[in-house]
Structure 1
Amino acid sequence: MKKGKPDNIISTLNRGTNMNKNDELFWETNSPKNRMKWIWGKLPLLFFLILILVIGLLYVQIKEKKNILEAKKGSELRQDQVKVNVVTLKTVPATIRDRIDFPGTVIPYMELKVLAEVRGKVVEKKVKEGDIVKKGDLIASIDSRDYENALLSAKSSHEAALASLNRIKALYKDQLATRSQLDDSEARTQNLKAVMDNAVLDLERCAVRSAMGGIVERIHFEAGQFVNVGDLMSKVIRIDRVKVRIGIPESDVDDVRKVNDFELKIDALGGKIFRGKKDVLSKTAEPGTRVYQLSLVVENPSNEILPDMFARVQIVKRQIANGLSVPLYAVINRNNERVVYVINDEHVHARTVQLGLMDGWRVEIKSGLKTGDQVVVVGQRDVNPGQKVNVVRTVNSIEELEK
């Protein structure tokens, strides 16, 4: 090895490693062999610095290629998605209601049990189940022969007692009868009059009549059957108006107190909507349930609502006039934000929105939208911000989406 080479290497290392005066003294005072050992000791550091430099260059190149690929991919994606069809909703102010739904059961407005007031055999059945009756209409006839005889006997006894009373009055006037005899005769006449009146009532009660107008729901007798006093003959209900009974949880009682008019839906009638008025809210809860019974009155002139039908009652806790709303499914969660897509110049734009009341499957938009915005309600999961789309239909209300 020539003497000058180590000096050249030393100079290079001095420049690459910033050698200080002590290092220079080391090179001047040590033999070439020691100098070579020192050089080999510094090689790992040199390799490490070179490795870092290479990694840095590779990282920069990879990042540039990645950005180029992403830009190319985004361009291709936008080109592929140009033909996405969407349906939009034009935002229009409308009333938004915060509602609670409760299940309820329909019951008759009035229910009357027709009972037998005399004992005997039913000789005639005048109605059948489902018949419409008026107040006083005949339901059944009970054999009245015994009661006719009892009335004749009571009349005869009363007439005899009345004749005897008149004679005693004449004798008492002539002082031929005592006051006690007169009082006894008057009392006996009054008692026989009461017996005769009861016989008249019993005879009238052989004709079993309805005490109110309505529909015959059940018949509990047949012609020829023997009935006793108090036996159930039939049941008559009034359903030209009906009641709906609902259980209200304790937590909602205060809201219900403030409401007098209710909206209810009958599933059995194709979801038809009816209006009801508050009748009674019970003052005590059902034992063990903490549920208070609410009764509503619903007009039912066509008798289409029947007892025991299931009703869904809506109670409006709060409402906002002229609020903007969109279907809940049109709202997308993105980066912990609620976003809807709005169409402007055939391109998709993301709008961050603030949600408010829920009204069924509609949600109030408190901020982020304005009247007239076209919100994507069909196809919103298939588009991206900035993408060009094809609007195939625009609706002015959420209800139009169901058609």
Structure 2
Amino acid sequence: MKIETLPLATAPTTAPRRPWKKALALLLIVLLAGGAWYFMRARGAAAPAPDAAAKDGPKVAVYELSKGDVATIASRELRLNLPLAGALAPSEQATVKAKVSGVVLDTTLQEGTAVAAGQVIARLDAADQRARVAQMQAAYDEATARVSLATKNNANSQALLKQNYISQSSVDNTQNSVELAQASLAAARAQLDMARIALADTVIRAPLAGVISKRHVQAGEKLAPDMPVATIVNLRLLNLEASVPASEVPRVKIGQEVRFKVDGFARRDFVGKVARISPTTEAGSRSMVVYISVDNSDAALRGGMFAKGAITTEKSAAAPLVPLAAMRELKGDAVVYAIVDGQVVAQRVSLGLRNDDDGVAEVKSGLQEGATVIVARLDAVKPGQKVRVGAAPPAPAAAAAKG
């Protein structure tokens, strides 16, 4: 019996198939098909029926406006202003000078010190003036005695003439002596008065109330007549001297209000009134100087400060003001696009004063305070258009004008 050996079976070269993969692929196909069916069904249900769409009619478009596209009409005064600039100067100032010669004994007042009218600001050595007064007093007493003697002689001559002891010419001579003595007495009296005045002038007093802006002498200095002692300025009333073009002078009137600012007082407005207008133009500039009176009771301002402001040449009563940007022309009429109940309305208006610098005009008729107008140029917005303003409130016209 022959036994043959069979070869061993070899392992399969490919991996056995896995049945779960096929099931997973089938599940994905089913899910995709179900999702597509659900989407198509929802889309079909959302589409309105043709009859229902025709029944509702076309939708009305509403234009959305921002807060910068509109303004609210406010009421206030409208002013027409003429700009100006100039320097402040004291309305009253004086440089006190010596009237007599003498050595300065004391001068205690310094720059910036307030003085009253008549207050002593310096004293001079008065020894020479006292001696002069004594001399003139003696001359006056002598002249008085001569008048007394001449009067007595004249009386005696009159008595002798009545008794025919002397001639008329002798009486005339004694009468002439009386007149000469009286003239000498008057001259002596005048000289004495002048000496007394000179003595009083050794005490130098302030001629006006104000503030010492400069002291020119020190104690111990020798003064001659007409030498400056101190300069005093009165700051209670200042003058603002400003140049105005000659072409604008017809707009300026005495009494008009002026508002201005000064460097260093950024948050404060100062007020003055036109007091005088120069009758001639300045050479070269062809402008005229306007003098503006400024009350400075609190002494906040100083002479020489530079001021910049404007003259109010014309002013209206409080009235609605419309921004010039809101004005339009429709069929030859001045109109604005007002918003009434969410709709644009072309509103005719009548204007009064117009201020191009502030960009506003006075409304005589056609608009009331609180009305909302469109200031932006929007081609798509026409009368009859439905509009809606954003949640932010519109800027008032007055605030827009100030900005």
TM-score normalized by the length of structure 1 = 0.66
Alignment match, 1:132:
114
1:339-389 Cα distance to aligned partner (Å, 9 max, x none): 988767779999999997226433227699833333578xx6999758865
Written as runs of structure 1 = structure 2, the 5 A alignment for 1:141-290 is: 141-175=123-157, 178-257=174-253, 260-268=255-263, 269-270=265-266, 272-290=268-286
1:4-403 aligned at under 5 Å gives the runs: 86=68, 89-175=71-157, 178-257=174-253, 260-268=255-263, 269-270=265-266, 272-321=268-317, 323-325=319-321, 357-358=354-355, 360-364=357-361, 370-371=367-368, 372-375=370-373, 385=381, 390-396=390-396, 398-399=398-399
CA distance in 1 between partners of 2:358 and 2:256 (Å)? 23
SS state at 2:252 partner:
helix
Secondary structure at 1:391 match in 2:
coil
Residues 335 and 348, structure 2, Cα contact 8 Å, conserved in 1 = yes
Contact between 1:348 and 1:388, CA under 8 Å: does it hold in 2? no
Q: Cα distance, 1:331 vs. partner?
A: 8.5
Matched residue, 1:46: none
Q: Which moved more, 1:97-106 or 1:269-278?
A: 269-278
Question: Unaligned 5+ residue runs, structure 1?
Answer: 1-77, 333-337
**Residue type matched to 1:267 in 2?**
V
Greater gyration radius = 2
Supply the distance in 1 between the matched residues of 2:271 and 2:402 (Cα, whole angstroms): 24
Shift of 1:326: 5.2
Structure 1 residues 280 and 126: alpha-carbon distance in aligned structure 2, compared to 1, 3 A threshold? same
Cα gap change, 1:164 to 1:85, in 2 (>3 Å):
closer
Instruction: Give unmatched runs, 5+ long, in structure 2.
Output: 1-60, 158-169, 329-333
Count of aligned residue pairs for this structure pair: 319
Counterpart in the other structure of 1:10: none
AA in 1 matched with 2:236: D
Q: Distance in 2 between matches of 1:86 and 1:185?
A: 99
Deviations 1:223-272 (A, max 9, x none): 11111111111111112122222223221222213x52212212232253
CA separation of 1:133/1:383 partners in 2, compared to 1, >3 Å: closer, same or farther?
farther
**How far apart are 1:281 and its partner, in Å?**
1.6
The answer to whether the Cα contact below 8 Å between 1:98 and 1:359 also exists between their aligned partners in 2 is no
Distance 2:120 2:273 in 1: 34
Judging by fraction of residues, say which structure has more helix.
1
**Residues 393, 199 of structure 1: alpha-carbon distance in 2 compared, 3 angstrom cutoff:** same
Aligned 8 A contact 1:89 1:398 in 2? no
SS in structure 2 of the partner of residue 107 of structure 1: strand
Q: Aligned pair in 2 of structure 1 residues 82, 93: CA closer, same or farther (>3 Å)?
A: closer
- The aligned amino acid for 2:225 is V
SS at match of 1:392: coil
Deviation, 1:183, is 3.1
| Matched-pair contact (CA < 8 Å) for 1:141–1:207 | yes
Q: Distance in 1 between matches of 2:297 and 2:341?
A: 54
Structure 1 residues 181-205: Cα deviation after superposition (integer angstroms, max 9, x where no partner):
3333223222222211111000000
Match of 2:372, as an amino acid?
A: Q
- Superposed displacement of residue 144, structure 1: 0.6
1:193–1:366 Cα change, 3 Å: closer
Instruction: Report the Cα distance in structure 1 between the residues aligned to 2:310 and 2:221, rounded to whole angstroms.
Output: 48
Distance of 2:153 and 2:68 partners within structure 1: 113
Shift of 1:130: 1.5
Offset at 1:212? 1.4
CA RMSD of aligned residues (A): 3.9
